[in-house]
Amino acid sequence: MNKYTVKKYTENDYKTWNDFIAQAKNATFLFHRDFMEYHKDRFEDYSLLVFEDKRLVAVLPANKDEENVYSHQGLTYGSLVYKDTLKLSSVIEVFKGILYFLNSNTIQKIQIKLIPSVYHQKPSDELSYALFLSEAQLIRRDSLAVIDLSNSYILSKIRKRGVKSGINNRLIIKEVDHFNDFWNEILIPNLADKHQAKPVHSLEEITKLKALFPENIRQFNVYQNEVIVAGTTIFESSNVAHSQYISGKEGKNELGGIDLLFYQLISEVFKNKRFFDFGISNESQGRKLNEGLSYWKESFGASSVIHDFYEVETSNYSLLNNILI
């Protein structure tokens, strides 16, 4: 029914997959198999490869949970990944082939978390159109706080005062190769006290990922008299520096450490990136907004970029028939 062939990923596809990710127009290092598989014990992989004849044209990072497939629950974003040579009409056909494959394998629904536009190498909204045609349902919408570093941005007065406090308190910012201090002294205690939660990545996991992706995962700490008072973990891709974790030591935030840290990251360390992504301030599947956290990010000059999540019935592949005229 389709000129495209869909198959499930196997370990034999490791090099083929990673070589493709390196050339795709909407991929980041999160889609490298080494990153995807650091928590493979928690997810049943159901990633897909799409071929035209023997030529790989698209991949879908995904996992399976009971009768549904997700792209991918262990990643911040997922979605269909493809090269810029794949045209809109072909993406529609590829997605139809994926829905048909899933439906034929008794998968009832697929949930897709789109890749936020700032992470695209080139405009890559073809799948959004295919989702519309297949009557996918919007089930969640988060808002990223992003600074476009190619345009002017203005720090608020309160952020400038925070930066000045950090300087006056003689705080020192260092990039370090380990995560022990930040995880054990700040991040883990703060998440436990404030949210009764743990970091998504354990100390062992983030250390392993740093060894695998040393240029993409970076840790910046703030010190007062050689004692850590704040820090952030940055996931760096070609266009974007994303703050994966942000936290300050309880009772030390008035020192201005976090404000000084992000001012230096934005104005110096990552000034040549296109975007700086503070991440979301949403809770409850996107239906609640942490106003204070959102304001703090916006006061650096950030504004909103939407991150959408869709669910589509696999039987809706038939809706993609007779679309092209």
Under DSSP, is residue 137 helix (H, G, I), strand (E, B) or coil? strand
Confidence of residue 75 (pLDDT cuts 50, 70, 90): very high
Nearest to 250 by CA among 168, 187, 296, 197: 187
Quote the percentage of the chain above a pLDDT of 70: 99
- Structural domain 151-273, CATH architecture: 3-Layer(aba) Sandwich (3.40)
Q: What is the mean pLDDT of residues 229-246?
A: 98
* Backbone φ, ψ for residue 213 (5° rounding): -130, 65
Q: Under 8 Å CB-to-CB from 152, ≥6 apart: which residues?
A: none
Q: How many CB atoms lie within 10 A of CB 169?
A: 17
Domain ranges of the chain: 4-142+308-320, 151-273
Query: What confidence tens digit (pLDDT) does each residue in 22-69 have?
Result: 999 999 999 999 999 998 888 999 999 999 999 999 999 999 998 899
pLDDT band of 2, cuts 50, 70, 90: low
The fourth-level CATH superfamily of domain 4-142+308-320 is: Gcn5-related N-acetyltransferase (GNAT) (3.40.630.30)
How far is residue 265's CA from residue 234's CA, in Å, rounded to a whole number? 10
Spatial CB neighbours of 40, under 8 Å, sequence gap ≥ 6: none
Residue pLDDT, tens place only, 116-168: 999 999 999 999 999 999 999 999 999 999 999 999 999 999 999 999 999 99
Same topology between domain 4-142+308-320 and domain 151-273:
yes
CB atoms < 10 A from the CB of 59, how many? 22
